[in-house]
Structure 1
Amino acid sequence: MIWVNQLRQTVPPSSISDVGWILIYTGEIPHEMGNLLSLEKLWIQNTGLTGVIPHEIGNLSNLETLVFQFHSLRGPIPATIFNISTLQLISLMGNHFSGSLPSSIGLMVPNLEGLYLGINNLNGLILDSISNASKLAILDLANNMFTGSIPNSLGNFRLLEDLNLQVNNFTCESSSSPELSFLASLTNCKHLRTLWISDNPLNAILPTSIRNLSTSLESIIANSCGIKGNVPIEIGNLSNLATLHLGDNDLIGFIPTTVRGLQKLQILGLWNNKIQGSIPSELCHLPRLGWLRFSKNELSGPVPACLGNISSLRNLYLDSNKFTSIVPTSLGSLKDLLEFNLSSNSLSGHLPPEIASLKVVTLIDLSMNQISGNIPSTIGSLQYLINLSLAHNLLQGPIPDSFGGLLSLEFLDLSNNNLSGVIPKSLEALFHLNYFNVSFNRLSGEIPSK
């Protein structure tokens, strides 16, 4: 066994023989390593290896684990690696490998369970031959330059658990259907837990067959893919889903009421789409939801008061929409809320004093609305608040003297309101404050100095 992590020791190639373990060095991988015919595990990470992987590695006929990750290795991946039938794990991630995948990939590795090739410079297509590695449970090709369609043959991985294809150049090249057809093939993968395809120019529609994906599925991350059409109502069938990211796409239509079926959902991101309508009350029945981001859509109507019933909520982003009515007083019930952004909407009415109940909140942004009335003095009790923006509203009256109690405050923007009176001297106690803007108000007197 060879297992090295962050080691810097040089071993002359002449000393390498058929032994159970050695200490490997920074520099190039010696060709003589191919002589270690009894070697079963070769794990070397983050030691600064350079050069190429010698094709003699393919001589290690008993090798079960091959890990050369987080080095500066380059060149193509030797095809001989994929002739080692005993291999169970291959990880070459975090290098500078280039070129396409070997044409024989998958044909001679019947025991392969994990293939990690992410964070390299690989290109070309994913070949159908890869699906012959029938025991594969984890496939990570993220952060490369692969092109072409995501092949339907991935559905042959009946034991597949984790699929990561993020940050490539995959497209949907089917002329017969605008849908992501490979998702239909993945319905054969009954053990699938994670499906990550973000940052690929797929430009297609989510198929209704998404309802047949594995009931084990816990995470879908598909941001920045050019996904079009509606969020399918069938999404509610994925009852084990904990993370759903569909942000920065071209989705239209409404948030389906079937989201109520996602009872284990913790993270929901639909930001930067063209989704319309109101937030369905069904969303308020997700007992584990902790992170909700609907920023930059076309959502309208009132901010649902029932959001205050989601006691698990930590981050709430509803900014840059078309919400109207008031800031619900019920949001004060979210005792563990950390970040709260309703900026760039058309909210009116007064700031509810119940905001002071958000004892651990670090960010409040209600800027770019039509909120009027006085700033509640109770906000001054939020000792953990770091960022507060109430800019571009219709607020009036004085800046509360209690703001001197915002001891963690770093950013304060009250500009473009109708505030009057003097700037409280108590603000001199805010030692962490590095941005302070009260311009375009009707304030008088001196600016307090620290």
Structure 2
Amino acid sequence: MEKSGIVMARVDDPTKESLLAKTGFDVGEIPKEINNLVELEELDLADNSFSGQLDTEIFNISGLRIIDLSSNSLSGSLPSNIDSILPNIEYLYQDSLTILVGTIPLSISNCSKLTILDLAGNKLTGLIPNSLGYLTHLQLLNLEENNLTSDSSLSFLTYLTNSRNLTFLDISLNPLNGMLPDSMVNLSTSLRNLFANSCKIKGRISNEVGNLSNLLFLDFSGNNLVGSIPTSIGNLRNLQRFDLTNNKLTGFIGDHTCKLQHLGDIYLGQNQLSGSLPYCLGNLTSLREINLGSNKLSSNIPPSLGNLQDLVVFDLSSKNMVGSLPQEIRNIKAVTKMDL
């Protein structure tokens, strides 16, 4: 079906399961005449080379449910009255526009049908609005790689506990510079992906983090977290990737880690962890990467690690490891990088 240069096409992204409008042009400015398509509900102009100003005419179709302008070279900011312009918006993808500036408008919290909000890879500034927590249908929130800030208690995380359908949250690479709140553990139990790397986050990880029982990916790397790894991590039975690299964590790598039977990657390097390596780590036969280097671990390398026949990366570099290399290590034949 073709209408005024717009052709219907299915996109590959599994998060966009419906048919979206996709333009036949890929350079220049987005034609302002697009707002003449008064019945348009779904607009996908992603992965092109559109440039110029992000005009409000693009948004001025009240029936739009889906807008995807990702990966272009558009400039401008989100309209302050986005709720009145787009009252029916459900999916809003504007990641990697590179020149999207300004703040996240407070009025976006009145877009009550909003399910996906992706603003990653831009130059947004200002506070992450607490009112995002009023978006009760929100499933995906991606604010990665902007210049967004928060108050010292990262209160927006507390408000996001009201978004009970949230499955994906990425706030990485923003200068948040706040204390990780205990309320974070009350985020949706539907949450599967939690990324908060390189945000200058301080404080401890609450021992109740195990409440987020459906997590698949947990990444708090590159922050200033202190304290020990919570024992409740063992409750995250679905966890596949666990990354706390480059923090200031102390204490032991406890046996609770061995309860993560689906774990594929564990990254705990560049901390101050001490003690011995759990013998039971060899029971996690799904492991592909182990990175525990630059800690204060002091023990023999357990022979049980020879059970990890699919291990590809193995980093235990530490000044304090002792003993001999167990013969069982010859069984990890898939390994491509070993650093002892």
Q: What is the aligned partner in structure 1 of residue 326 from structure 2? A: 352
The one of 237, 242, 246 aligned to 1:272 = 246
- d(CA) in 2 for partners of 1:23 and 1:292? 45
Is the Cα contact below 8 Å between 1:77 and 1:102 reproduced in 2? no
Post-superposition offset of 1:110: 2.5
* 1:13-412 matched pairs, under 5 angstroms: 19=3, 42-44=21-23, 48-50=26-28, 52-120=29-97, 121-172=99-150, 174=151, 178-366=152-340
Post-superposition offset of 1:157: 1.2
- d(CA) in 2 for partners of 1:243 and 1:345? 30
Q: What is the aligned partner in structure 2 of residue 11 from structure 1? A: none
Q: Structure with the greater relative contact order (CA < 8 A, sep ≥ 6): 1 or 2?
A: 2
* 1:414-425 matched pairs, under 5 angstroms: none
1:342 and 1:85, CA in 2 relative to 1: closer, same or farther beyond 3 A?
Answer: same
- d(CA) in 1 for partners of 2:26 and 2:235? 48
Is the Cα contact below 8 Å between 1:78 and 1:102 reproduced in 2? no
Post-superposition offset of 1:41: 5.5
**Secondary structure of the corresponding residue to residue 241 of structure 1:** coil
| TM-score, structure 1 normalization | 0.70
RMSD: 1.8
- d(CA) in 1 for partners of 2:319 and 2:58? 56
Post-superposition offset of 1:99: 2.1
Gaps of 5+ in 1: 3-18, 25-39, 367-450
| Deviations 1:53-99, CA, capped at 9 Å, x for gaps | 23332232100111111222223322123331211110111111112
The amino acid of 1:198's aligned partner reads: S
| Deviations 1:308-347, CA, capped at 9 Å, x for gaps | 1112111100001111121111111112211111113310
**Secondary structure of the corresponding residue to residue 292 of structure 1:** strand
Is the Cα contact below 8 Å between 2:23 and 2:45 reproduced in 1? yes
| Deviations 1:115-147, CA, capped at 9 Å, x for gaps | 010101111110111122211111110000000
Q: Which has the larger radius of gyration?
A: 1
Q: Which runs of 4+ in 1 moved over 6 A?
A: none
- d(CA) in 2 for partners of 1:81 and 1:190? 31
Is the Cα contact below 8 Å between 2:217 and 2:241 reproduced in 1? yes
Is the Cα contact below 8 Å between 2:27 and 2:51 reproduced in 1? no
- d(CA) in 1 for partners of 2:128 and 2:54? 21
- d(CA) in 2 for partners of 1:305 and 1:316? 14
**Secondary structure of the corresponding residue to residue 303 of structure 1:** coil
Is the Cα contact below 8 Å between 2:6 and 2:23 reproduced in 1? no
Is the Cα contact below 8 Å between 1:82 and 1:104 reproduced in 2? no
- d(CA) in 2 for partners of 1:61 and 1:48? 22
- d(CA) in 1 for partners of 2:204 and 2:7? 55
**Secondary structure of the corresponding residue to residue 337 of structure 1:** coil
1:255 and 1:23, CA in 2 relative to 1: closer, same or farther beyond 3 A?
Answer: closer
Post-superposition offset of 1:48: 3.1
The amino acid of 1:167's aligned partner reads: E
Is the Cα contact below 8 Å between 2:5 and 2:23 reproduced in 1? no
Post-superposition offset of 1:152: 0.9
The amino acid of 1:61's aligned partner reads: V
| Deviations 1:138-180, CA, capped at 9 Å, x for gaps | 11100000001110111121111111100000112x3xxx211
1:83 and 1:48, CA in 2 relative to 1: closer, same or farther beyond 3 A?
Answer: closer
Identity of aligned residues (%): 49
Q: What is the aligned partner in structure 1 of residue 11 from structure 2? A: none
- d(CA) in 1 for partners of 2:288 and 2:200? 28
Is the Cα contact below 8 Å between 2:80 and 2:106 reproduced in 1? no
1:249 and 1:22, CA in 2 relative to 1: closer, same or farther beyond 3 A?
Answer: closer
Post-superposition offset of 1:20: 7.3
1:220 and 1:23, CA in 2 relative to 1: closer, same or farther beyond 3 A?
Answer: closer
| TM-score, structure 2 normalization | 0.92
**Secondary structure of the corresponding residue to residue 211 of structure 1:** helix
- d(CA) in 1 for partners of 2:35 and 2:131? 26
Is the Cα contact below 8 Å between 2:6 and 2:21 reproduced in 1? no
- d(CA) in 1 for partners of 2:245 and 2:237? 21
1:133 and 1:360, CA in 2 relative to 1: closer, same or farther beyond 3 A?
Answer: same
**Secondary structure of the corresponding residue to residue 107 of structure 1:** helix
Gaps of 5+ in 2: 9-18
